[in-house]
Amino acid sequence: MRRTGRIRPRRGGERGCSHARRDEDSWRDSSGRQCSAYGDGRCFSMASLENVPAELRAEARWVCWRREERGGKTTKLPVCAKSGRMAKSTDPATWATFDEAVAAVGRWRCDGVGFVFGPDRAFTGLDLDHVIVDGVLDAEYRWVVEEAGTYTEVSPSGDGLHLIFRGAKPDWAQRSRKGQPGGRVVEMYDHDRYFTVTGDVFEGRGALAENSGVVERAYRTWIEPEARSAQPRLDDAAREASTGDMGDDELVERMLASRSGDDIRALLAGDCSAQGGDHSAADMALCSHLAFWCAGDAARMDRIFRASGLMRGKWDSRRGGTTYGAQTIERAISGATEFYRPRAARRDGSSRSSRANDKNVCSMSTRRERQGVPDDGAAPREATTEGAPSVEGWHVDERGRLWAADAAGELRYTVTATAPWIACDLVDVDTGDVRALVRVAVAGGVRERALDRDVLLNQTRIIGALAPLGANVSSTNSKDVVRYLTDCERRLGGERPRVRSVTHLGWADGPLGAFMPYDEGEVRFDPSPDEALKARPFMAAAGTLAEWVAGVAPARAASPLFRCVLAASFASPLVALLGVQTFIVYVWGRSRSGKTPTLKAAGSVWGDPTEGSDSYFRTFADTPKSIVRAAALLHDIPVIIDELQSKGAPGGQASKRQIVEDLLYSLSLGHERGALNSDRSMMRAGSWRSLTIATGEIPIVGDSTQQGASNRTLELSGEPFADVRSAQAMHRLVAQQHGTAGRAYVAALKRNEPAFYADLFSLVRDGVDGIASGHPQADNIALLALADALAEYYVLAPGSEWASCLDGAMEMAAWALGNATGAESDTDTRAIQFVAEWLAGNRIHFDDYCENDRLERWGAIEEKSCATGFRWYVFSSVLERALTGANFDRAKTLRRMDEEGILVRDSGHRYTRQKRFRNAGRVYCVCIDNEALEAFLDRSAGATGTGGAGIASQGGAPC
């Protein structure tokens, strides 16, 4: 094996690059040209490759190539730019970017770069070998260059041309190569091959374009001539039936009203700007249109052309025994694949002389037979009203197949066997955004999906959206599918019905409106594909309400902790109804104490709590983002999180607490930023108003934290189940009985007005405050108590007296108040108590003559001038140091002291004020009223309520 393309200095009689250097590792001259001997004295240069269209250079489907001789023949081997090994046109792993390929030419001693036609068939290459002789293109191939209007370059040999088009070959074009007279060869590929690329643009044709007509004609002309000969022209009778009764003016009017009307109008006016100012190309373009509309009638084509703005003297110039105009018309007719026939002629059918003529009229008979169209030649029947519509340019038959049609309504080819359609517009209740409900008829029925417009009208993203539904949409037909849907949108969009829709569970149209997915009616539930999987546990109930109640009632009666957790589940929809803040109910205790089956019982109110990748049940081992997304989907249904002990964190328990506090903060915000779905569409920014119920084996609320976790977390400790067998029985129960209680509960809630629940909550809150005044969890526990009473009244024991239900709920509330972490005192209260004790213990630092005792001054004590008592003036920096050392937050402590009337503010309403000290000037101090401080301590130490008894006698019972 011998390489023939290596750069060598020019010696006598040898071909080579005139500026090649002996340094073969460089392969560049002083002008930046990268050299590779093509064998005729020419060279491969960086400058010429800049002529390659940017669209091709942007594709990561480039290789290098190396000329070698095998068996006495020269071949061009593809080389991987990354490894230097042989590349494969069927293996994308061996392809590279354009820049990588160019940079690797010298490294791997290659002769140039090449472009691969991949499996997506996005591009088609036409290779004309040995068609240039002495620098002149053979006349037989001139037409394809002039009419293609696409990127054309000279091949490395210097005597061939490469034309690259956007789009694929015709589906039926199976052959790729054929020898021609005179030793010429024509090849055409749209996949699994590569072209060498030089950037040596031929006659300035450097713009990439799509021209399926020229591709098809070139294929029929050179590669499979029998495909052309199998289509005889219309006989005179058929042509007469086609357009004979129509005058030229009427025919031109029809031409201008067609889909190509704008292009035809410009050509008739003499405008050749679309052809880059090339008059000959414009002549051919107009004649190609005329060949179709005149049904191959050369005389009529000549009459209409002579009346156009393109007519000039060249039209009648001699070309041997004919004229330029006659040649142009003949070429246009020979390249035509179909002819226009008015609808009246098609309905009459008398002009159909043979099956061969049908192929010439529509050019699709063979393909239609392949696709199962009836052999009687009849067109597919119209689609039913329930399905994809037929619009101008497109036809949907009764089998749901989408056909592309020409301007006259003749069917050209099938696009897909499963035509999609837009059933209605979906207006999001929350945002007002409009999506499209797209349906597809597939085996087994009609499937549907809600799609954003940017997905619906994108030929790449629509594949991922519709293919999972069973639709026949791929890279080969997605462009036509998008064009069809775009035309449907333009013509039918204004007539389409609009339906209100939401993408989340829970209240869909405000509190006490529709609740998703239980009572989907006027409002639809249309989640994204990712969210639809996670919504499955809630779509259908299992078992009966009576069996579920019989299973959970014993545990609820035996354990106040179980009752609190169950009440929290029923309380979640009340958050939006009452406008209260979301919070978390966290249960901790030893392992195997029944915490997990308690969580599952709470989840079974709404759906299936069984563990699984798409389950309702979450764990702390899940990422915070996935938990937040679950909350956005659930919206008003409680979030269930288990197993804090499974959450790994460097730094031990303290780090775990911090992670959980961060998560609680995220959940308490009630909203998140958007993210990407698996189909690369944008996930909507979610919001929620649900409670979170979680378990673990460690407490998460520290004794002195003031970061908000204590106020947002109702932390309860205990063992919900006394024995393992009861816990196991609960596991089995909820696996078979779930989703019934939530449906009954929501339906019952709608019997009353929102104002009724607001008044009822105020009553219960007063009762809870009467049990433990100032408790930090009073509002949260009051919400649980209200939900417990409503659940018992509506679901667990329907028919019970409301007073009895409310009394039981207040007993549960009393237990929760006494067992919640932080029940001893509020964190802010403890901080104020610390300040009082610190002041009393360090009074000597505030005396007038503390400096005489060589003590550091921390402030001063000042008697009130017009009242009894005194005030503390504490250096602000000293107080902050003391609070920080005791793990209290200075800002929150001062805010609470101000709310309690303990602080004396300055005129600017700030927490600090300036005071002049002897030998110290003015110092910023916190001014504390000692009398108000002692009064607060008395209230917090002796605060006892009157109890919640008797609240049932106030207000009426729910409907």
Which residue, 506, 531, 555, sits at the end of a domain? Answer: 506
Residue 874's pLDDT is 95
From the list 311, 330, 327, the residue with the least C-alpha distance to 319 is: 327
The pTM score is 0.52
Identify whether residues 96 and 133 lie together within a single domain. Answer: no
Which CATH number goes with the domain that contains 220? Answer: 3.30.2250
Per-residue pLDDT of 762-788, as tens digits, reads 999 999 988 877 777 889 999 999 999
* Separation between Cα atoms, residue 507 and residue 701, nearest integer Å: 31
What mean pLDDT is reported for the chain?
80
Sorted by sequence, the CB contacts under 8 Å of residue 902 that are 6+ apart come out as 832, 928, 929, 932, 933, 936
On whether the CB atoms of residues 811 and 764 are closer than 8 A, the answer is no
What is the number of domains present in the chain? 6
Identify whether residues 731 and 615 lie together within a single domain. Answer: yes
Sorted by sequence, the CB contacts under 8 Å of residue 71 that are 6+ apart come out as none
Tokens of 843: 């009074």
Identify whether residues 568 and 673 lie together within a single domain. Answer: yes
* Separation between Cα atoms, residue 281 and residue 146, nearest integer Å: 6
**CA neighbours within 13 Å on the CB side: how many for 307?**
10
On whether the CB atoms of residues 435 and 426 are closer than 8 A, the answer is yes
Kindly give the interhelix angle for 890-899 and 827-841, rounded to the nearest 10 degrees. 90
In a domain, 903, yes or no: yes
In a domain, 756, yes or no: no
* Separation between Cα atoms, residue 802 and residue 952, nearest integer Å: 8
Tokens of 729: 């029985």
Identify whether residues 179 and 269 lie together within a single domain. Answer: no
DSSP state of 676: B
Task: Please give the single-letter amino acid code of residue 679.
Answer: D
**Which whole-number Å values give the CA distances from 273 to 261, 270, 279, 309, 315, in the listed order?**
16, 9, 9, 13, 19
- Run of H or E including 802: helix 802-819
Identify whether residues 651 and 571 lie together within a single domain. Answer: yes
In a domain, 99, yes or no: yes
* Separation between Cα atoms, residue 870 and residue 864, nearest integer Å: 5
Task: Please give the single-letter amino acid code of residue 844.
Answer: I
On whether the CB atoms of residues 538 and 616 are closer than 8 A, the answer is yes
How many residues are recorded in the chain?
Answer: 959
In a domain, 151, yes or no: yes
Q: Compute how many other C-beta atoms are within 10 angstroms of the C-beta atom of residue 499.
A: 15
Which residue, 728, 748, 768, sits at the end of a domain? Answer: 748
Residue 227's pLDDT is 52
Identify whether residues 135 and 170 lie together within a single domain. Answer: yes
Indicate the Cα dihedral angle 376, 379, 380, 382, nearest 10°: -130
Which residue reads 């003036």 in tokens?
873
Identify whether residues 573 and 453 lie together within a single domain. Answer: no
Identify whether residues 98 and 170 lie together within a single domain. Answer: no
**CA neighbours within 13 Å on the CB side: how many for 707?**
16
Residue 790's pLDDT is 96
| pLDDT beneath 70: ranges in the chain | 1-46, 172, 174, 226-245, 320-321, 337, 343-386, 611-614, 644-662, 664-686, 701-711, 822-826, 853, 867, 909, 920, 941-955
On whether the CB atoms of residues 43 and 17 are closer than 8 A, the answer is yes
Which residue, 68, 93, 117, sits at the end of a domain? Answer: 117
Identify whether residues 681 and 728 lie together within a single domain. Answer: yes
Sorted by sequence, the CB contacts under 8 Å of residue 214 that are 6+ apart come out as 144, 147, 148, 149, 165, 335
In a domain, 248, yes or no: yes
In a domain, 565, yes or no: yes
Exposed / middle / buried, residue 354 (Cβ in 10 Å: 0-12, 13-18, 19+): exposed
* Separation between Cα atoms, residue 496 and residue 615, nearest integer Å: 36
Identify whether residues 187 and 296 lie together within a single domain. Answer: no
Domain around 474? 421-506
In a domain, 838, yes or no: yes
In a domain, 950, yes or no: no
ω into 517 cis (within 30 of 0): yes
Identify whether residues 734 and 597 lie together within a single domain. Answer: yes
Per-residue pLDDT of 111-145, as tens digits, reads 999 999 988 888 999 999 999 988 889 888 999 99
Identify whether residues 878 and 926 lie together within a single domain. Answer: yes
| Residues facing residue 63 across a β-bridge | 114
